[in-house]
Amino acid sequence: MSMITLVTTCLCFLLVSSFPWTNKANVNCLRTIKSQVEDPNGYLSSWNFANETEGSICSLNGVDCWDLKRVMSIQLSGYGLKGEFPLGIKECSDLTGLDLSRNNFSGPLPSNIFSLIPFVTILDLSYNQFSGEIPVSLSNINYLNSLTLSHNQFTGQLPPQLVLLKRLKWFSVADNLLTGPVPNFEESLHIVPENYANNLDLCGGPLDACVDREEDREETIPFGKMSAAIGAAFFAPVGAFLGWFFSNGSKEKQGDIRRRNWF
């Protein structure tokens, strides 16, 4: 066998053998997701992995594929699913869209969420019960075009690093428990106050300007000192007058008593 024939044979073997491996990873991804969530309405009952024919995973509810092997997007909106963010999604390494909105997911988002869905362009986690702080690693998902985290229970401040998402066209964190300044996104994103509505205390454009609490305290303290000084200046003469008045009144009474005793 010539060297060229040998090399060609090896390349063909690698190409052919890689496809089943890719399919297996995606099957494992979906199987793990199913095992990690509660499905009270049985919407994932069609996720039956006994069928190993090519393209079988692409016919499952909420699953779209790039080809007959690779999962392109997972759309499970309104399924009533419960549990935490499914970590098994990492094996869907070609995933570009994830919609888990309008479910009952809870708990914090993984701090390493970037490593789980690095190529996602659309991420919708709205209308759930996710809590805790929004992870900074979201800012590393460079291909994000749409990020919807509204109607959850996220707390703390928004990571300022989110401004690094240069491809972002849509962003909303309305109806959460967030505080502090919002990221200074570029004007091309066209964020309006409604994107931040119904949070505890967010500030900064397009919302009201943030107020420096330290400056407030510094302004309040001198004002308090000045008020105390004014009060002291006002009441000191009054106190002195009252003291003189009562002192003289007492002396006059003593004089009257002595005169009566004398006569």
Q: What is the pLDDT of residue 213?
A: 57
User: Is the pLDDT score of 250 beyond 60?
Assistant: no
Burial class (CB in 10 A: 0-12, 13-18, 19+), 123: buried
101 within some domain: yes
Give the CA angle between residues 24, 46, 116 to the nearest 5°: 45
> pTM (2 decimals)?
0.74
241/230 Cα distance (integer angstroms): 18
User: Is the pLDDT score of 51 beyond 90?
Assistant: no
Whose CA is closest to 72, among 47, 53, 99, 50?
99
8 within some domain: no
Range of the domain at 48: 20-105
Given a contact cutoff of 8 angstroms between Cβ atoms, the answer to whether 117 and 108 are in contact is no
Q: What is the pLDDT of residue 116?
A: 98
84 within some domain: yes
75 within some domain: yes
Give the CA angle between residues 57, 63, 24 to the nearest 5°: 35
122 within some domain: no
pLDDT tens digits, 191-245: 999 999 999 999 998 999 999 755 444 444 454 444 444 444 444 454 454 454 4
77 within some domain: yes
83 within some domain: yes
Number of domains in the chain: 1
pLDDT tens digits, 21-37: 457 899 999 999 999 99
36 to 40, 86, 87, 126: CA distances (angstroms): 13, 6, 8, 19
Q: What is the CATH number of the domain that holds 55?
A: 3.80.10.10
61 within some domain: yes
Q: Which two tokens stand for residue 55?
A: 């393209």
Q: What is the pLDDT of residue 199?
A: 97
